[in-house]
Amino acid sequence: MRFTRRIAIVSLTLSILGFWQATLADPGNFAPWESEQNKPARWEEYSCPGGLSQTFRLGGEVKNPTTFDLQKLITLQEDLKNQNPAVVTEITVSFQTGAGPRTETYYGVPLWELINNEISSGGLQPGKSGQNPKNAFLRQYVLAEATDCYGAVVTIGEIHPNFEGKQVLVAYAKKANDGSIQYLTDTDEGFARLVVPGDKAGGRYISNVRSILVLSAPASPLKPKYFWQP
């Protein structure tokens, strides 16, 4: 009797396993631990189409998130010059690319003024300061992203006038070979690109900018045990 009962239990177990294998093999069904919520949103599947940018979104930890197109960027440059004639809106840079060295003169809006001037985004918003709020803005950084989702970071400390004061530019035009001003919309660089003077390689010279976000570095992932000797 015990032997017969064991055979019946084994047969039932094998039948259940066979059912589950068929269910999991069917691409139309999900395992119990799977959910439609784990699938990427449809917009995420097409979030990096590439191509020429026509606008970019300025957002994150700024008081007035806004969207810029070419005319709005030109108007901002003019307003900044009227506000302060000494503001830098023209930069000549040399940098290395995959096709060799380049030297260009770009025209645009300083990144610092774009994110911290009242006539642009209204200024920086306080970010997440971590456990020590002192100089919390030094934990902030700017993430610039292109239409193909290529991105790079510039820290606030790099562009803050009281720190490195680097004249990073959000450019909308450059000097052509004949000396005239050529809008980037007439090139393959999109309507705006990031220009980072001092960088030897052009990795942060992001063309076809589609978004500029101010963010804060997260708190350190290290636990207290890492700071104490055993």
Rounding to the nearest 10 degrees, give the CA dihedral for residues 147, 150, 156, 158: -120
First to last CA, the chain: 61
Per-residue pLDDT reduced to its tens digit, 83-98: 999 999 999 999 998 8
Q: CB neighbours (10 Å) of residue 38?
A: 8
Domains and CATH numbers, the chain: 2-39 (no CATH), 48-216 (3.90.420.10)
Name the one residue in this structure whose structure tokens are 């020590």: 132
Is residue 12 very low, low, confident or very high in pLDDT (cuts 50, 70, 90)? very low
Each residue of 110-150: pLDDT tens digit? 999 999 999 999 999 987 767 778 888 899 999 999 999 99
Global confidence as pTM? 0.76
